[in-house]
Amino acid sequence: MKIKDAAELTGTTVRTIRWYHQEGLVPVPENRGGRRDYQLHHVARILRVRWLAQAGLPLSNVRDLLDREDNAGREESSAGGDSTDHAGNKTSADTADRMDATDHADHQLRTVPPTVHSAQPVPSGAAVDDLYAALYQVDTSLEELHAQRQRILHLIDAAESGRGLSSIPPQIDRVYSRLEQAVPQDPHIQRVLRRERNMAEMLCQRGLIRADVIDALDLPDNQIDRMVDFLERFVAIKDVPGQELEGAVVELSGDMLQWCLEHPELVRLYLAVMPGWNVPAVRSVVMGLLMLEYRDPNQRALLRHALDGLTELISQGAFDPESAPATTQLSATRASGDPS
């Protein structure tokens, strides 16, 4: 075949193939009828060079690797072993052995920490290290492409569903949308929710929100309805008269804590991203930020009571993985505490 046909088959250019010849990466075909006649083994060689180069190996390493294989093939041939093709590569007689070796290399790569391959320079004199590095680079590229594909699919889904080109996962978007729709009359809460949504989107864009957190927020509608109810009651508590405030605070914070007990996995995720909750200094910082955000005294009273109750349940081990919902502790928590 002509050089342009070889270029089309291998997805490269005539100029690149000629450069491979110049660099000694691909043997120059014989002249037939006044032109170079490319055979199947030339095409295979070009494909292999391209694969190794795209996997991240420098061309000097590619040349060393292929030269060593060529020399090994010629030595086996001269010793009465398997035959070689025009490029010096072993042919079908040892195909099964090479497949076994490939499977073994794949197993070794999966059982050895990636840093063994990625953190060290590739020795030009070690073919196995070259191949490990190439395979690791391919796997890394595949993971990156898969992640990019998932992001594009999400953007397509967001655009087709009318949410716009947002990178926030639909599980989180659905919760914030329902909460924003619940209190359109409260501009302050709307600002808080929009700010939190923007923060979540920024963290998602940078891959800083764990997948298990996103999956845990894929709540059924009835659970989101309860969150909407909590938000509406939180807004309405501003207008509760003083003589009724204590009862309203205890009731709402108790309902919120009961919801936490019914969803311990969400509380455990919260504790995982907010380590040291049992340390008074950490709780003081969180409470200080909340007091800056919410200035209404009734809402502040509710937040203090609810967070104190949550701290008590955490200290009792109510959210340990092996614990069952602690309704008795909740009853004591709801009945105790000064909401002021």
- 329, 316 contact by CB (below 8 A): yes
Quick one: CA dihedral 175, 180, 182, 188, positive or negative? positive
The lowest-confidence range among 63-67, 163-167, 192-196, 246-250 is: 163-167
Averaged pLDDT score across all residues of the chain? 74
Return the higher-pLDDT residue of 318 and 82: 318
- DSSP class per residue in 91-110: -GGGHHHHHHHHHHHHHHHH
Q: Is the pLDDT of residue 292 over 90?
A: no
pLDDT tens across 298-336, in order?
A: 999 999 999 999 999 998 988 887 655 444 445 444 444
Residue 280 tokens read as 């008074």
CA-derived radius of gyration, the chain: 32
The H-or-E segment that residue 114 falls in is none
What's the average model confidence in pLDDT over 184-210? 80
pLDDT tens across 107-146, in order?
A: 433 333 333 333 344 334 445 555 566 567 677 778 777 7
Tally Cβ neighbours within 10 Å of residue 257. 24
**Alpha helix (H) ranges present in the chain?**
3-10, 14-22, 40-54, 59-78, 95-111, 115-118, 127-160, 170-182, 187-205, 211-216, 221-236, 242-262, 264-273, 280-293, 297-315, 327-335
Instruction: Note if the pTM is more than 0.75.
Output: no
CA distance linking residue 279 with residue 311, whole number of Å: 10
What's the average model confidence in pLDDT over 71-98? 47
Task: For residue 253, count CB atoms less than 10 angstroms from its CB and return exposed for 0-12, middle for 13-18, buried for 19 or more.
Answer: buried
Cβ-based neighbours of 296, under 8 Å, separated by 6 or more: 238
CA distance linking residue 196 with residue 191, whole number of Å: 9
Q: What is the pLDDT of residue 139?
A: 79
